[in-house]
Amino acid sequence: MLPLLLAAVSILTAAAASAHHPHPLDPLSPAELTAVRAAVLASPLVPARPLTFHYVGLDEPDKADVLSYAYGNSTSSSRSALPRRAFVVARAGGQSHELRVDVTDAAAPSVLAHAVHRGAGFPTLTLDEQFAAVALPPAHPPFVESVRRRGVDMADVLCAVFPVGWFGGDLPGEERRVVKLLCFVAGATANFYARPLEGVTLVVDLDRMAIVGYRDRVLLPVPKAEGTDYRAGKAGPPYAGRAPAPGTVVQPEGRGFDIDGHFVRWANWEFHVGFDVRAGTVISLASIHDADAGARRRVLYRGFVSEVFVPYMDPVEEWYYRTFLDAGEYGLGLWAFPLQPGADCPANAAYLDGYYAGQDGKPVENKNMICVFERYAGDVAWRHTEAGITEVRPDVSLVVRMVVSCGNYDYTGLGVQDQRLHQIHGVSDRPPGGEGDGLHARGPDHGGRARHAGGGEHPRRLPRPLRHVPPGPRRRRHQQLLRQEHHRHQAQRGRHAEEELLDGAPGGGRDRGGRAGGRERRAGRPAGRQPQQADPDGQRGRVPGRPGRRDGGVGAGRRRLPAEARQLLQEAGAGDAVQQGGEVGARAVRRPEHRRRRPGRLEREGQGDTERGHRAVVHGGHPPHPVPG
């Protein structure tokens, strides 16, 4: 009996341990951050003190291992967990250290690798060192004198840290980690950025935490506070006015999505939501379910904001270096603030917390850092009415949101920290297996497909604008496709023009039933159009006294027919008109058989004008293109 009990306990323990294994792409937990700090501080590889942590993030496993873990055939209970590792950037002894720490067993972490960064650039600014730097100016006598000269109260002065940038080469002092401080006047307004102390610059050495440079270049008046406040109730016209009525989103049956740990499942979508102190929100392993194929189609392996570049491009001394890299220098996740329910996110939103390592390495909790909600904008995604049947499908999208307030910039727009997914009611008929397969929705099946020369079917795609294609072989190939598309349209226009015969020419004014004016009606012109009068001298449309110029009137831009074409028209019965003026037959002649245009590649492959494939992009107006894994 005792062996059976021991076996049962061991099975339950193993099951509980496997159930608590984090996903390979889950952000580091508070326990793992604590283990990282302990391992780094105990390592003899970085003996210098003080030691400050500037970045602690997940050291991702190899992509192949993650895909095997996520989409392998093994069940979640039987698959083995991948190693958990952290990447650390720390500053100690005037050097930038990079370490990799194994936290698979948080109770026994270990440093796997260590290197000293000796290239250009420095670690991300921490909050603690920024607060310490901006506290220095009020105690600096030259700065106090500059404030007095401008007639400003020191209690109203606020300062901010600005990176100095890097302009290439090995300049003196580049080995020092310095920043510049610019100061502003708040007073009666919250918009202190509109009231700068122009001309005053302070330079701070962050390792020494001391002012090492100061200059008061020019004395300029401080702008007034009136009319600069942006807060509700204080902003003047045209921003003041009647506020919109409050609204709320009601879902009687509850939310339409599920959150399991860091995985979100909604409609036919499934994806992983992570957090990084530098990049902010991270979307991984996004896929859609193809019910016909019975498999998931991978759309995106890992997506996040790589950088936000804000160059001011002003050569003035206090402005030339303002070329901000908000993700790398400040950290989007570091400057993400708690979301306000009912304002930043609607009432039906669910929230995720985030954790990052502070300057001392200890975990810091940020509540309500990310919200997930369904957006109902009142738009129609699809509708149709016919034969007494009406079906309307509302446009619903899923939003994953984080708000970043970096200085005087707030990022909450699409493409930065607002990721949106749309429902897909059908998927393309491409075989599954690679990223990008699920990016396209199936179009209506009404003969809109093109035959391939090999006998199969594939949707016909129009080439993207050339400006969207980078230089290289793909750009040359796109140039060829654009030329072919241009020639195809020209050929189509030429065929239509050749078929427009003048009234009076054999068969020109009658349709298949023998009725006059048939072609004119089909071409959108009134029936019974009269033929143009002949121009014996060939001067129709010419400006008097200026040979070779046309005035854009009737017949402008036409050429006289060559002798061979006039001969053909004479044989066809239109000889009198040609003899009187060659331009009359310019649109009546059919190109001789031996001089007709050769069919293009698209026509030889059966991709004619009437057979066009149809494939729509799920979201956005650009033609389909693969998304990198």
Residue 102 near residue 157 (C-beta atoms within 8 A): no
- Pull the structure tokens for residue 128: 């603690």
Residue 451 near residue 441 (C-beta atoms within 8 A): no
Question: Quick one: fold of 257-381+393-419?
Answer: Beta-galactosidase; Chain A, domain 5 (2.70.98)
Sheet holding 389-401, edge to edge: 350-357, 363-386, 389-401, 418-422
Query: Which residue among the candidates 216, 229, 409, 429 is catalytic per the annotation?
Result: 409
Residue 75 has pLDDT above 70, yes or no: no
Residue 423 near residue 267 (C-beta atoms within 8 A): yes
Supply the pLDDT for residue 138: 96
Which has the closest alpha carbon to 164: 133, 195, 127, 194? 133
Which has the closest alpha carbon to 57: 15, 105, 100? 100
Residue 459 has pLDDT above 60, yes or no: no
- The Cα–Cα gap between 278 and 333 comes to 5
Residue 603 has pLDDT above 50, yes or no: no
Which residue in the block uniquely carries the two structure tokens 């406040």? 229
Residue 489 has pLDDT above 60, yes or no: yes
Residue 562: which pLDDT band, with cuts at 50, 70 and 90?
low
Q: Is 11 helix (H, G, I), strand (E, B) or coil?
A: helix
Give per-residue burial for 340-359: e unless 16+ CB within 10 Å, then b: eeeebbbebbebbebbbbbb
Supply the pLDDT for residue 119: 83
Do the strands 404-406 and 409-411 form a parallel or antiparallel pair, or are they unpaired? antiparallel
Q: What percent of the chain has pLDDT over 90?
A: 48
Q: Is 411 helix (H, G, I), strand (E, B) or coil?
A: strand
Residue 266: which pLDDT band, with cuts at 50, 70 and 90?
very high
99 or 419: which leads in pLDDT: 99
Which has the closest alpha carbon to 588: 508, 517, 501? 501
Average pLDDT across the chain, whole number:
75
Residue 78: which pLDDT band, with cuts at 50, 70 and 90?
low
Which has the closest alpha carbon to 450: 626, 603, 621? 603
Residue 564: which pLDDT band, with cuts at 50, 70 and 90?
low
Region 490-501: what's the mean pLDDT? 57
Quick: pLDDT tens for 118-147. 888 899 999 999 999 999 999 999 999 999
Q: Which CB contacts under 8 angstroms, 24+ apart, belong to 448-452?
A: 448/611, 448/612, 448/613, 448/614, 449/611, 449/613, 449/614, 450/605, 450/606, 450/607, 450/611, 450/612, 450/613, 451/605, 451/606, 451/607, 451/611, 452/605, 452/606
Residue 561 near residue 574 (C-beta atoms within 8 A): no
Region 230-249: what's the mean pLDDT? 78
Region 24-38: what's the mean pLDDT? 97
Task: For the chain, give every residue range classified as CATH 3.10.450.40.
Answer: 30-116, 127-216
Query: Quick one: how far is CA 35 from the chain centroid?
Result: 36
Domain 30-116 has CATH 3.10.450.40: yes
Task: For the chain, give every residue range classified as CATH 2.70.98.20.
Answer: 257-381+393-419
Quick: pLDDT tens for 152-186. 999 999 999 999 987 776 555 567 899 999 999 99
Region 513-523: what's the mean pLDDT? 40
Biggest alpha carbon–alpha carbon distance for the chain: 119
Region 363-379: what's the mean pLDDT? 93
**Which listed CATH number (3.40.50.300, 3.40.50.12280, 3.10.450.40, 3.40.50.150) goes with 127-216?**
3.10.450.40
Residue 112: enclosing H or E segment and its boundaries? strand 110-117
Supply the pLDDT for residue 165: 83
Q: Is 586 helix (H, G, I), strand (E, B) or coil?
A: helix
Q: What percent of the chain has pLDDT over 70?
A: 62
**Cross-strand bridge partners of residue 214:** 202
Residue 532 has pLDDT above 70, yes or no: no
Most confident residue range from 167-171, 295-299, 477-481: 295-299
Residue 568: which pLDDT band, with cuts at 50, 70 and 90?
low
Q: Is 487 helix (H, G, I), strand (E, B) or coil?
A: helix
- Among 9-13, 427-431, 530-534, the minimum mean pLDDT is found in 427-431
183 or 10: which leads in pLDDT: 183
Region 217-228: what's the mean pLDDT? 92
Residue 565: which pLDDT band, with cuts at 50, 70 and 90?
low
How many CB atoms are located within 10 Å of the residue 189 CB? Answer: 21
Query: Which residue among the candidates 59, 276, 326, 535 is catalytic per the annotation?
Result: 326
Region 30-54: what's the mean pLDDT? 96
Supply the pLDDT for residue 24: 95
Supply the pLDDT for residue 609: 42
**Cross-strand bridge partners of residue 215:** 201
DSSP 605: T
Quick: pLDDT tens for 388-413. 999 999 999 999 999 999 988 999 86
Is residue 395 part of the annotated active site? The answer reads no
Residue 619 has pLDDT above 80, yes or no: no
Residue 445 has pLDDT above 70, yes or no: no
Region 546-566: what's the mean pLDDT? 48
Quick: pLDDT tens for 139-153. 999 999 999 999 999
Supply the pLDDT for residue 499: 53
Region 341-360: what's the mean pLDDT? 94
Is residue 326 part of the annotated active site? The answer reads yes
DSSP 366: E
Supply the pLDDT for residue 492: 66
